Amino acid sequence: MAHVVFPSSFVCDCGHRSDFFERTVNEMKQDSLRRRKPGQLLDSAREEHAIEFEKGRATAVICPKLGRCAITSVV
């Protein structure tokens, strides 16, 4: 299962790690509280992964190989 490395990194089931600035993640959390649909934060890696935010928290990592991987833990 995918997990969050506190405060602003995310690890996919395939082993890919997406690192962001803490401020960027906090802005996405706030923005997702105002939206009705989930928002996505994309990384700039060659195999681009997306982090899905819904209702103020990160809910999934969208992997190009494995598809949607739910975030289950915070490390």
pLDDT tens per residue, range 11-70: 999 999 999 999 999 999 999 999 999 999 999 888 899 999 999 999 999 999 999 999
Q: What local confidence, expressed as pLDDT, does residue 2 receive?
A: 87
Q: What local confidence, expressed as pLDDT, does residue 66 receive?
A: 94
pLDDT at 75 over 80: no
pLDDT at 6 over 90: no
Quote the CA–CA distance of 32 and 62 in Å, as a whole number. 16
Strand 67-74 and strand 2-5: pairing?
A: parallel
Quote the CA–CA distance of 12 and 6 in Å, as a whole number. 14
Residues 6+ apart with CB under 8 A from 61: 2, 10, 11, 12, 13, 18, 49, 50, 51, 52, 68, 69, 71
